[in-house]
Structure 1
Amino acid sequence: MGGGGGGGGGGRDLFSAGTDTTSATLEWAMAELMRRPEAMAKARNKLEKMIGRDGHRLVQESDIPSLPYLQAVVKETFRLHPAAPLLLPHKAEADVEICRFTVPKNTQVLVNVWAMGRDSNIWSNPSSFLLERFLKHKTNFRGQDFELIPFGAGRRVCPGMPLASRMVHLMLASLLHSFHWKLEERVKPEDIDINDKFGLSLQKAIPLKAIAIKL
């Protein structure tokens, strides 16, 4: 989900940025599910029906296309908590008119995908974490559906998108399938803080604290 720089350090930059934003997205997904125990239970049940609950088989990447509920969790997380809230900076190569506004050549352009994901003209109940919106509609996050572009779109789409997409789904599925999760004593689901901390990547203002119990 993060892009890398050029030169000899480009590979290291890509790996570092992808690791940071992937872990942040995973934390947001777990936080949203733990605020909604019924959604977490449903996601786990879907996994158990496909893979079993005896622990003899781990979740595989090939399982993900057959788990639409899990995919909806990831899409809704991308919508509400995009890892790069303003994407990466772009620059206009020529004068261009967009919606009757002229963007001069060489203008730096920032795309506020955080605001797009919370726009009531695009989404119903935009502030709510609703998986049904992606179970009913096959909206894609790979750059074809412009209401959901956490990785950008076009020729400048994030080069880490294929890796991040695979890793977020697989890691989230593995955590849900292998562990039962509970909050600290006296902490209720509705007490989980979901305020964000803006930066190059979108982090939780208060890190999620959860206890994993091996199934």
Structure 2
Amino acid sequence: MYLPYCVGSKMSLWYIIVAIVVFFASILIAKNTSKTTKNLPPGPPRLPIIGNLHQLGSKPHRSMFKLSKKYGSLMSLKFGNVSTVVASTPETVRDVLKTFDIDCCSRPYMTYAARITYNLKDLGFAPYSKYWRELRKLTVVELYTAKRVQSFRHIREEEVASFVDFIKQSSSLEKPVNFNLKLMKLSASVICRVGFGISLEGSKLENSYDEVIQGIMEVVGSFAAADYFPVIGKIIDRLTGLHGKCEKVFKAMDTFFDQAIKRHLEDESVKDDIIHLLLKMERGEIGLGDFQITRNHTKGILLNILAAGIDTSAQTTTWVMTHLIKNPRVMRKVQAEVREVIKNKDEITEEDIERLEYLTMVIKETHRINPLVPLLIPREASKDIKIAGYDIPEKTWIHVNIWAVHRNPNVWKDPDAFIPERFMGNEIDYKGLNFELLPFGSGRRMCPGLGMGMALVHLTLINLLYRFDWKLPEGMKVEDVDLEESYGLVCPKKVPLELIPIITKWT
């Protein structure tokens, strides 16, 4: 008499199990169907687990450019668990940086960038938020105004004059100047005084500034396993050495910040630099909206000033001199202009910059052919959007490939050739309004320190081109000058540029 009950009970249990399975299966099918109905940008096939990471190579900007030629101006890639799109033409980049800027201007969480920036308390890597907006407003109004840039003019001129004296000594000995190293030191000397109120010499960074700055750029520009594989990523990064490098450069940088801050706290007469301003904010004397900044906020902001301020100016000037020595015709033409405008002035000032039209073209062409940040810091879509007819789901990472834009043959004739004259008679500039040339980005996330950095670049180049002629070391030919870059957030020249200076007759 219990059999029907037993059989019925078992049948009921199976009906329940089947119903549950069907329910969850239908959810999965619905989710997969919704995914397949999305019109995602095309992209290359993916490997299990790693996705497209194996296709990045040692220079991801070049690899992505090559892939975009096959898969299009907006391309889908998968890096571990992370869905990514890459914009590679002026049109798609305009959509990301301008049309949908508000929806694309946040940042994804990046493990080592968070460590370096004191848990995203900086301007470059912090997600889009009220705090970020207040900080951006502060930097624009207080730190990087034309008036403040001008107030540091005497520091730039003093440090460049000291640099010129060093080159004169090298000339008398016919000794090559290592541009990669010496221009980093020049930039570091300026930034230490402008931002931190201390001299590079005798500081905690004196003997390691180049290693620390380059290390920071490599760490924050890396495609870290921790960002793409939540469970085992950090173990992989320890094995590859990325985690150890991050800790090493962080500790060196943090020690330097502590030294500079301690000096300000012990000597109240140290003023008129950026730390002084930030310490006033810590004390509440200057407001940051509803936020009270802490010491870690101060250090996060200083990180942007230290790393971006030193590296971008130094590498820009190095690349300009590399292309000039590689192109003797351009070198002769730009030196002729500089010497005609400056004439026999012994003291070169920043007023001379605006009159040098061909030098401006040379700098633009250098930015085009060697953008310092070939892949902008990744962005993250804050909601579902549609770009160029394709669906970009919320939380998708967005890479903007400036390298691809600047090497696009549909935009630039002979894109691999160094031809400054291509900028003659047009209004294309590098200040974020022309999407064919974006070395400093555009929109809300554009580099705010553009004016500060380029002031030093111009002043340095005028002195180098006016006061000296340049030749390659014995045995080297123009063809031997290497144009390969190393990869990081900022891409420096891989093989250091070494040139022998010859003092010109009027100096």
Percent identity between the aligned chains?
38
1:68 corresponds in structure 2 to 357
1:86 aligns with 2:365: no
CA displacement at 1:96 relative to structure 2: 1.7
Tell me how far apart the structure 2 counterparts of residues 67 and 22 of structure 1 sit (CA, whole Å). 19
2:298 corresponds in structure 1 to 8
Tell me how far apart the structure 1 counterparts of residues 315 and 455 of structure 2 sit (CA, whole Å). 15
Counterpart residue type for residue 48 of structure 1: R
1:134 corresponds in structure 2 to 423
Secondary structure at 2:502 match in 1: strand
Unmatched tracts of structure 2, length 5 or more: 1-122, 127-296
Tell me how far apart the structure 1 counterparts of residues 382 and 451 of structure 2 sit (CA, whole Å). 27
State which of 98, 104, 109 in structure 1 corresponds to 2:398.
Answer: 109
Counterpart residue type for residue 80 of structure 1: I
Secondary structure at 1:136 match in 2: coil
Contact kept? 2:326, 2:481, Cα under 8 Å: yes
- Greater Cα shift, 130-139 or 146-155: 130-139
Tell me how far apart the structure 1 counterparts of residues 434 and 369 of structure 2 sit (CA, whole Å). 16
Tell me how far apart the structure 1 counterparts of residues 452 and 333 of structure 2 sit (CA, whole Å). 26
More relative contact order in 1 or in 2 (CA 8 Å, sep 6+)? Answer: 1
State which of 456, 464, 467 in structure 2 corresponds to 1:178.
Answer: 467
Deviation per CA, 1:102-141: give whole Å up to 9, x if none.
2222222221101111011111000000111112322111
Deviation per CA, 1:154-173: give whole Å up to 9, x if none.
11111221112222222112
Counterpart residue type for residue 162 of structure 1: G
RMSD of aligned alpha carbons: 1.6
CA displacement at 1:4 relative to structure 2: 5.1
Tell me how far apart the structure 1 counterparts of residues 474 and 331 of structure 2 sit (CA, whole Å). 19
Counterpart residue type for residue 21 of structure 1: T
Counterpart residue type for residue 393 of structure 2: P
Q: How many residues align?
A: 211
2:321 corresponds in structure 1 to 30
CA displacement at 1:213 relative to structure 2: 2.1
Tell me how far apart the structure 2 counterparts of residues 8 and 22 of structure 1 sit (CA, whole Å). 23
2:311 corresponds in structure 1 to 20
Contact kept? 2:320, 2:366, Cα under 8 Å: yes
Counterpart residue type for residue 61 of structure 1: E
Unmatched tracts of structure 1, length 5 or more: none
CA displacement at 1:12 relative to structure 2: 3.6
CA displacement at 1:23 relative to structure 2: 0.8
Tell me how far apart the structure 2 counterparts of residues 79 and 162 of structure 1 sit (CA, whole Å). 18
2:142 corresponds in structure 1 to none
Q: TM-score, normalised by structure 1?
A: 0.92
CA displacement at 1:5 relative to structure 2: 6.0
Secondary structure at 1:64 match in 2: helix
State which of 323, 331, 345 in structure 2 corresponds to 1:40.
Answer: 331
Contact kept? 2:124, 2:445, Cα under 8 Å: no
Deviation per CA, 1:13-68: give whole Å up to 9, x if none.
3222221122111111100000111211111111111111x35231x222222111
Tell me how far apart the structure 1 counterparts of residues 399 and 456 of structure 2 sit (CA, whole Å). 26
Runs of 4+ with >6 A deviation: none
Flag the 1:74–1:88 CA change in 2: closer, same or farther, 3 A: same
- From the CA coordinates, give the structure whose radius of gyration is larger: 2
